[in-house]
Amino acid sequence: MPAHQQAKVSSILRSLCFMLGLLILIYVLSVGPVIAIFSYSTGYMSPDQIRLVNFLYAPLSWPAECSASYRNLFQSYVDLWLRLI
């Protein structure tokens, strides 16, 4: 493979890795605002919407069942958003 094509492929891979990392970071950081909005919208969300939110954020809440330190960090982050919203 010529050097310019290899550089182009390397640049594309770096961009994809950056975008994937950014999407994961946004997903993790969005749990606080989503839970805060979710807690204030009682009665406004359908059961299907509630199940969807629970399904999407379950991977972030599962470790809280096993780790007290993660649970405390998770709860502090959610509490911060509950105060902000």
Residue range 48-61, pLDDT digits in tens? 888 998 899 999 98
pLDDT of residue 47: 84
48 three-state secondary structure: helix
Distance of CA 48 to the CA centre of its chain: 20
**Can you list the residues of the chain whose pLDDT is less than 50?**
none
What is the spatial distance between Cα 69 and Cα 82, in angstroms, rounded to a whole number? 20
Containing structural domain, residue 52 = 3-84
In this prediction, residue 22 carries a pLDDT of 97
Q: How many domains does the chain have?
A: 1
Can you give the pLDDT at residue 39? 83
Q: In sequence order, which residues have a C-beta less than 8 Å from that of residue 62 and are 6 or more positions away? A: none
